[in-house]
């Protein structure tokens, strides 16, 4: 059942559960961060409305810089501000930033430990009709490999706002990943959010049909909702799972990941990203070193996406509820 301590949305499994794009939380977070700290500045690459930087630009026009379609300039200008006492946030589509300007981010930001926050919008295949060129499915891998870089993947709009505010207070470069489409609101204002600390959102306990946790589902981003629905369905079959929100890919919560692996003896990871190098790979690195268990990885399987409705693409590339349930059953057989 849902952990009471997690304080999740009580209407999580309703058909009319509230849905909001995670990028909206970023926009709200920028304004709040700007109100709290006059050193917060925002730069954008001609995508002010789409990345939800617009509200900040209207409230603090003197602290907003429109760079235009020049992502390399976006990164290097921000890097200079980041070592000069400012707290710059740069906003663009993730295929462009940290995609097109990866080398500038590496050399001018990460290498110099510049205090820049990178907002990568329109990530994953749920970008939909824009197609493969605009569907960032490699960005977790390319950012987490950089020294000094932190990587956050919020599961909903509320957590995205919290991640934005947390990033503003953390020294050094941070990458935050956002989605375009509306996705279910999983958390509440009271749900804990601490960078570097994963949270258990579901586990078998008194009142559930399943008494024992057999698999840990570790996910990040809005697909965590599918993991929770899968856990709800599996409980009806008396198959117990733990669902862990691993929103902080770097720094990663090694202690909690090892804890749920020990408890369950098998792990399924789910992310809207390539399975190579992403969040699942980060989890596998932890477990390979400390506590190896059978694992299944759900995500993009070494392929690009395509144009289509978000829900159609999630099903085609096997990241929906039925695929998570299948992976859980499969890894249980491997464990036994």
21: three-class secondary structure by DSSP:
strand
Residue 71 is among the residues annotated as catalytic for this protein: yes
What are the pLDDT digits (tens) for 144-159? 999 999 999 999 999 9
Average pLDDT in the 93-117 region? Answer: 98
Catalytic residue among 5, 28, 54, 71: 71
What are the pLDDT digits (tens) for 181-231? 999 999 999 999 999 999 999 998 755 666 789 999 999 999 999 999 999
Out of 141, 164, 184, a domain closes at 184
Q: Indicate the DSSP class of residue 277.
A: S
pLDDT reading at 10 higher than 70 = yes
Phi, psi of 160 (to 5 degrees): -65, -40
* Mean of per-residue pLDDT scores for the chain: 96
Asked whether residue 289 falls in the same domain as residue 325, the answer is yes
pLDDT reading at 27 higher than 80 = yes
- Cα(249)–Cα(247) distance, rounded to whole angstroms? 6
Asked whether residue 31 falls in the same domain as residue 170, the answer is yes
Phi-psi region of 172 (alpha: psi -120 to 50; beta: other; left: phi over 0): left
> Which CATH number does the domain housing residue 207 bear?
3.40.50.920
Asked whether residue 123 falls in the same domain as residue 242, the answer is no
What are the pLDDT digits (tens) for 263-307? 999 999 999 999 999 999 999 999 999 999 999 999 999 999 999
Token look-up 């890894």 returns: 331
Residues of the domain holding 330? 4-10+191-335
Q: What is the pLDDT of residue 210?
A: 66
Asked whether residue 57 falls in the same domain as residue 137, the answer is yes
Average pLDDT in the 304-327 region? Answer: 97
- 1 — pLDDT class (breaks 50, 70, 90): low
Q: What is the pLDDT of residue 207?
A: 59
Asked whether residue 161 falls in the same domain as residue 247, the answer is no
The pTM score is: 0.96
């Amino acid at each position: 059942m849902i952990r009471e301590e997690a304080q999740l949305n009580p209407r999580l499994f309703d058909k009319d559960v509230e849905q909001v794009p995670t990028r909206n939380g970023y926009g709200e977070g920028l304004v709040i961060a700007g109100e709290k700290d006059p050193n917060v500045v925002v730069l954008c690459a001609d995508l002010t409305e789409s990345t939800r930087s617009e509200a900040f630009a209207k409230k603090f026009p003197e602290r907003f810089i429109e760079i235009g379609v020049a992502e390399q300039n976006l990164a290097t200008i921000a890097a200079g501000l980041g070592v000069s006492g400012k707290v710059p946030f740069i906003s663009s589509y993730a295929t462009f930033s940290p995609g097109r300007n990866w080398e500038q981010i590496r050399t001018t930001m990460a290498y110099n430990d510049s205090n820049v926050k990178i907002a990568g919008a329109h990530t994953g295949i749920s970008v939909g009709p824009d197609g493969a060129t605009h569907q960032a499915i490699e960005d977790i891998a390319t950012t987490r490999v950089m020294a000094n870089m932190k990587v956050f993947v919020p599961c909903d709009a509320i957590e995205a706002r919290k991640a934005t505010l947390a990033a503003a207070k953390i020294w050094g470069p941070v990458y935050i990943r956002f989605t375009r489409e509306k996705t279910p609101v999983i958390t509440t204002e009271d749900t804990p959010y601490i960078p570097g600390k994963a949270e258990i959102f579901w586990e078998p306990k008194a009142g559930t049909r399943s008494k024992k946790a057999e698999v840990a589902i570790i996910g990040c981003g809005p697909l965590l909702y599918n993991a929770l629905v899968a856990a709800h369905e599996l409980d009806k079959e008396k198959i117990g799972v733990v669902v862990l929100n691993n929103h902080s890919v770097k720094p990663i919560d090694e202690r909690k990941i090892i804890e749920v692996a020990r408890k369950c003896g098998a792990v399924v990871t789910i992310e809207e990203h390539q399975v190579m190098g992403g969040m699942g790979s980060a989890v596998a690195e932890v477990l390979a070193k400390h506590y190896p268990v059978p694992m299944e990885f759900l995500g993009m399987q070494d392929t690009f996406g395509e144009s289509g409705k978000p829900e159609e693409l999630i099903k085609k590339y096997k990241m929906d509820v039925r695929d998570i349930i299948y992976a859980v059953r499969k890894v249980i057989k491997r464990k036994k």
